[in-house]
A = this chain, B = another copy of it.
Amino acid sequence: MNDIRFVVSPRIMGEEKFFGPGIATLLHRVEEYRSIRQATASMGMAYSKAWNIIRRAERELGFSLLNTTTGGREGGGASLTEEGRTFLRQYDRFCALVNEHARTDFETAFGRPPASGPAATKGDPSEEDLDPDPVS
Contact = CB atoms under 8 A, between A and B. Distances in A.
Interface of A: 1-14, 17, 60-63, 83, 87, 90-91, 93-94, 97-98, 101-102, 105-106, 108-111, 115, 117, 120, 126-128, 134-135
B1 A63 contact: yes
Given A4-B12, A13-B7, A61-B2, A108 B102 contact: no
B109 A94 contact: yes
Given A6-B12, A7-B17, A13-B5, A105 B109 contact: no
B13 A6 contact: yes
Contacts of A87: 1
Oligomer: number of copies: 2
A103 to B, nearest CB: 10
Given A17-B120, A120-B13, A128-B128, A6 B63 contact: no
